[in-house]
Structure 1
Amino acid sequence: MNDLRIRAATPDDLDAVLAFWQRAAEGASISDDRDGVARLLARDPESLLLAERDGILAGTVIAGFDGWRCHLYRLAVHPGQRRRGVATALLKAAEERFVALGGRRGDAMVLKENALAHHAWSAAGYAPEPQWSRWVKPLGF
């Protein structure tokens, strides 16, 4: 895992990240477009974390903090890089970011039918909370 580098995305990474999500992420998001990701980086430039191995994008996670809660989105690992510590390293970097910002609890949006993701989140110490149900509404569309 020593050859893995974690860094914050820059606007120059937008096209590569969007193409990566098409290959590596399960399910499309309504905000998976250049404008949506650019807004994310403009509002919180350190929120989109990238994992690179040998200069090639191996994984992503969005680690957003709104001042109250820590939110994790778009944890995605390239199929050829899975089970090599990429997700673990990304989540560790996200959690370190949250602690530095004063965050106390992280939550993740995970598709119910994505069993592979459930394994990764569980291995990282996250657990579903059966008493909560997430309700989502696209805004402005």
Structure 2
Amino acid sequence: MKRLGRFLARLSQPLSVSLLNLGHNSTTAARTGQRLLSVTMLPRIVGFVVPPLRENVDSSADEAITALLDIEPSARWTELFLIQCGALASQLSLAEVRIEGSEILFYGSVCNARELADAVAAMVATLNERLMQEGNLAAGSTGASKAGR
């Protein structure tokens, strides 16, 4: 419980802190893929809604566990997140993950709900960190190419 609390507290810190530490401000946008991505566009988990759980999961009858995001993610973020979920599905017994608006829905049992919630939170943080690093690299290369002119 303490580990999850510390993890969620770390996630609740502003994402722009990393960019400020690197000499960029939160309005820095960088080219990632085919569109500009602003740091303020990256969703963070602000809480979970956990319905009554059973030992065996039946996604057709059970309510989903819901991770609440502070903003609705972009289509690109959603695509990357679902790809990441698919890659880790067999390791985490994570199936039928979907994103609806500003919510990530997934199913878990009494036995694995906490582990799955930790895994979803970690995937959100990892994806956001990756996108921020890509943005910092792109912003740095844009600045370097302008300096070379």
TM-score by length of 1: 0.28
Name whichever structure is richer in helix by fraction: 2
Name whichever structure is richer in strand by fraction: 1
Instruction: Flag the structure with more relative contact order, 1 or 2, with Cα contacts below 8 A and sequence separation at least 6.
Output: 2
TM-score by length of 2: 0.27
